């Protein structure tokens, strides 16, 4: 992480510590905390890190954006921050100026297709995060990107495992506010890879926080006259949790670096990085959530404890932009199609 990314990470951490602490949010009786937190993130430029200055963004770069996402995961951010970053990135690929406010992106599932004919959209996106709660939708429609008013769409009510909006959105007959051709080889596969890398980084951040709060609890919780962290079985579980968190962080960081330095979205090496990240971090999310709950026992399942905020988001993020089973199957198909030697040559061609 270079100096600029460190500064961005520090700024994001301070904002969340001051305005979006998980325990404070967990104890809140209403959503009064939401607007001050979003305003602070937006005013600091963290919501537009992937958008150039010319298009109304902060122009901080890919690495800085991923640094923000890791912090968002560490605080289990209950805001469409990742979605706004992703949507801004896609708008930038078409040269559309940022409209400001919250955004989300559609579609997010392999196989969903939105088309554009005679200036009108058609099609349905099955699972769009925060669709009913944002100011704008950014839609991939073939080789074009469209900016859409959510009020013009038909959104079906729904929530993910964390209780956040997850909506099926029908775009039939919707006229976008703006339309632009996509550049730089961005297509549905590229958007899916970018989204998978985003979720991998958020999950890595959440796993790090689960590790930290589990270790702290093990040091404080006393049973049979000593802290439970002194018991070998607990130590082994925490060591496994540390391994899972470290593996997730390592591969998420590696994938972010690959995207920051990509030459082409069709590169086999990039696909392997993203697929490996979504698979490995997804597995770590499952293992980490289970170990976290083992450490806390029944208390971790209660609404009053913050553990569930991280675990429920891990479960939700794991499925977004396809889960590890889908990525593993696609990776297997690619290897089978090229043969192991052909795929290896593609990886080492650089």
336 alpha carbon, distance to own chain's centre: 29
**pLDDT score for 348:** 65
Q: Could you tell me if residue 152 is inside a domain?
A: yes
User: In b/e form, how buried is each residue of 316-350, taking b as 16+ CB within 10 angstroms?
Assistant: bbbbbbbbbebbbebbeebeeeeeeeebeebeeee
pLDDT, one tens digit per residue, over 213-259 is 999 999 999 888 999 889 999 999 999 999 999 999 999 999 999 99
Per the structure, how many domains does the chain have?
A: 3
Are 43 and 138 in the same domain?
no
CATH number for the domain harbouring residue 301: 1.20.140.10
Determine the Cα–Cα distance for residues 48 and 164; give it in Å rounded to an integer. Answer: 22
pLDDT of residue 2: 80
Domain shared by 171 and 202, yes or no: no
Same domain flag for 153 and 234? no
The residue range of the domain holding 127 is: 101-184
Mean pLDDT for the chain? 94
The answer to whether residues 20 and 120 belong to one domain is no
CB distance 288 to 245 below 8 Å: yes
* 89 domain residue, yes or no: no
Of 23, 45, 77, the last residue of a domain is 77
How far is Cα of residue 307 from the mean position of the Cα atoms in its chain?
Answer: 19
Pair of tokens at residue 329: 């199957």
Are residues 290 and 208 both part of a single domain?
yes
254 in Cβ contact with 276 (< 8 Å) = no
Q: What is the pLDDT at residue 27? A: 92
Q: What are the Cα distances from residue 109, in Å, to 99, 199, 300, 323?
A: 25, 13, 31, 10
Residue ending a domain, among 77, 93, 111, is 77
Same domain (yes/no): 172, 197: no
Mean pLDDT within 151-177: 97
**Which pLDDT tens digit goes with each residue over 199-216?**
999 999 999 999 999 999
pLDDT digits (tens, 9 = 90+) for 29-78: 899 999 999 999 999 999 999 999 999 999 999 999 999 999 999 999 99
Cα 123 from Cα 114, distance rounded (Å): 5
Q: Tell me the Ramachandran region of residue 160: left when phi exceeds 0, alpha when psi lies from -120 to 50, beta otherwise.
A: beta
In a domain, 91, yes or no: no
Q: Predicted confidence band at 9 (pLDDT cuts at 50, 70, 90)?
A: very high
């Amino acid at each position: 992480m270079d100096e600029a990314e460190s500064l961005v990470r520090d700024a994001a951490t301070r904002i969340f510590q001051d305005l979006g602490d998980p325990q404070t949010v967990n104890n809140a009786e209403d959503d009064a905390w939401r607007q001050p937190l979003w305003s602070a993130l937006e005013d600091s430029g963290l919501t537009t890190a992937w958008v150039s200055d010319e298009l109304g963004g902060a122009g901080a770069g890919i690495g800085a954006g991923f640094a923000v996402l890791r912090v968002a995961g560490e605080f289990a951010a209950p805001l469409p921050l990742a979605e706004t970053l992703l949507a801004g990135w896609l708008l930038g690929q078409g040269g559309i100026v940022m409209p400001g406010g919250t955004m989300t992106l559609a579609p997010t599932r392999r196989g969903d297709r939105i088309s554009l004919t005679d200036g009108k959209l058609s099609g349905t996106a099955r699972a769009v995060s925060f669709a009913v709660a944002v100011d704008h939708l950014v839609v991939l429609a073939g080789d074009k990107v469209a900016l859409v008013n959510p009020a013009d769409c038909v959104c079906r009510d729904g929530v993910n495992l964390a209780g956040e909006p997850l909506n099926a959105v029908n775009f039939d007959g919707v006229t976008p506010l703006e339309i632009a051709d996509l550049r730089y080889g961005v297509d549905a596969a590229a958007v899916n890879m970018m989204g998978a890398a985003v979720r991998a980084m958020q999950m890595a951040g959440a796993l790090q926080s689960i590790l930290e709060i589990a270790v702290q609890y093990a040091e404080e919780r006393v049973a049979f006259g000593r802290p439970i962290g002194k018991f070998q079985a607990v130590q082994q579980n925490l060591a496994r949790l540390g391994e899972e968190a470290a593996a997730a962080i390592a591969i998420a960081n590696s994938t972010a670096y690959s995207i920051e330095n990509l030459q082409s979205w069709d590169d086999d090496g990039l696909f392997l990085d993203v697929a490996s990240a979504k698979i490995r971090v997804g597995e770590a999310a499952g293992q980490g959530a289970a170990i976290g709950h083992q450490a806390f026992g029944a208390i971790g399942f209660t609404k009053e404890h913050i553990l569930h905020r991280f675990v429920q988001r891990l479960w939700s993020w794991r499925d977004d932009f396809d889960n590890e089973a889908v990525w593993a199957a696609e990776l297997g198909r690619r290897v089978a199609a090229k043969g192991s030697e052909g795929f290896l040559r593609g990886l080492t061609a650089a």
